A and B are shown apart, each in its own frame.
Chain A
Amino acid sequence: MSGQTVFYILAGAAILSALLCIIQKNPIASVLWLISTMFALAGIYVLLQAQFIAAIQVLVYAGAIMVLFLFVIMLLNLGRDTGDLRGMPVRLAAVLVAGGLLGELVLLARVTPGSMALLRGTAVGAGTPMASFPAGQAGAAAPGAQGVVGAIAEPLFRTYLVPFEITSILLLAAVVGAVVLAKRKL
């Protein structure tokens, strides 16, 4: 089974799970289908040479965050069919808006030499063949030398050190905020 085939299987699973997630009436089922989506995405990450991200996707997202969701749903005892879909006018509007958005995103997702050059910030001459740009090299070359985790630690603790520290403050604030909001009386 080639990587391509696996990718398409995982992509199909992710999309299907996502669809099921949003159309389930029961919130608990929704959570479970979302977790399914995240697992499928983790597989795709592996295929895209991002093994570390795949790992924390499973650990943090599917593991921690979604469990928190599940916990709250169960805490509030919302695990019943409530029928919370909106009315027909909104559904129609949603379909229209989503159609437009999808069309635009698909247009944006086209991979062309021009769009890649735009992203890299380098000018590309007309008629440059698509194959000429070193696809995957930047991502693939680094893990070879430093290992998967070391490759991502390098930019994280050098280039992005300050944002990294700021996220710690953000998390601290979030913890304090969550406690303040959730507690009845401090």
Chain B
Amino acid sequence: MLLGPSLLVSAILFTIGVVGVMLRRNAIVLFMCIELMLNAVNLTFVALSQVLGLGGQVMVFFVMTVAAAEAAVGLAIILAIFRHTRSVDLKNINLLQG
């Protein structure tokens, strides 16, 4: 009966991912932190699927698919940005400045 501890681990991992997003400026590390958060959510799904049926595991399957797609597109974008600015540091990427 590991539901409670699993959810706790998931919360901690998610928060670590959030902290990483906030602290790091490297775009690729940022992406990795997002993957970490997605994994934390996956853990929640799997843990709850114990109780609520296999739909949760199917959802994990979808999350992985989306994560793969996101990684592919995101890394392609980072590649394009790097070509443009010779850097993946976010402080150099401020095209949205008002």
Contacts and interface: CB of A to CB of B under 8 A. Distances in A.
| A and B, direct touch (CB closer than 8 Å) | yes
Interface string A2-29: 0110011001001100110110000100
Interface of A: 3-4, 7-8, 11, 14-15, 18-19, 21-22, 27, 30-31, 34, 37-38, 41, 44-45, 47-50, 52-53, 56-57, 60-61, 64-66, 68-69, 72-73, 75-76, 78, 82, 84-86, 90-91, 93-95, 97-98, 101-102, 105-106, 108-111, 116, 119-120, 133, 135-136, 138-140, 142, 151-152, 154-156, 159-160, 163-164, 167, 170-171, 173-175, 177-182, 184
B9 A152 contact: no
A86 B22 contact: yes
Contact of A119 (B15, B19, B48, B70): B48
Interface residues of B, number: 70
Interface in B35-75: 35-36, 39, 42-43, 46-55, 57-58, 60-62, 64-73, 75
B54 A142 contact: yes
B40 to A, nearest CB: 9
A110 B6 CA distance: 11
Main secondary structure of the interface of B (DSSP, over half): helix
Interface of B: 1-20, 22-26, 28-29, 31-33, 35-36, 39, 42-43, 46-55, 57-58, 60-62, 64-73, 75-80, 82-83, 88-89
